[in-house]
Amino acid sequence: MKFFVDTADVAAIAELNALGMVDGVTTNPSLIMKSGRDIKEVTKEICEMIYGPVSAETVALDADGMIAEGRELAKIADNITIKVPLTWDGLKACKVLTDEGRMVNVTLCFSANQALLAAKAGATFISPFVGRLDDLNIDGMDLIAEIRQIYDNYGFGTEILVASIRSANHMKEAALIGADVATAPPAVIKSMANHVMTDKGLDAFLKDWAKTGQKIL
The domain segmentation of the chain, as residue ranges, is 2-212
In tens, the pLDDT along 196-212 reads 999 999 999 999 999 99
In tens, the pLDDT along 117-148 reads 999 999 999 999 999 999 999 999 999 999 99
**Residue 163 to residue 140: CA distance in whole angstroms:** 10
In tens, the pLDDT along 143-180 reads 999 999 999 999 999 999 999 999 999 999 999 999 99
- Backbone torsions φ then ψ of 42, nearest 5 degrees: -70, -35
Measured CA to CA in angstroms, residue 158 lies from 39, 99, 168 at distances of 26, 14, 24
- Which residue in 83, 200, 211, 215 is the catalytic one? 83
90 — pLDDT class (breaks 50, 70, 90)? very high
Per DSSP bridges, beta strands 54-57 and 24-26 are parallel
pLDDT recorded at residue 154 = 98
pLDDT recorded at residue 173 = 98
- pTM score, two decimals? 0.94
190 — pLDDT class (breaks 50, 70, 90)? very high
- 83 an active-site residue? yes
Choosing among 3.40.50.300, 3.30.70.260, 3.20.20.70, 3.30.465.10, the CATH entry for 2-212 is 3.20.20.70
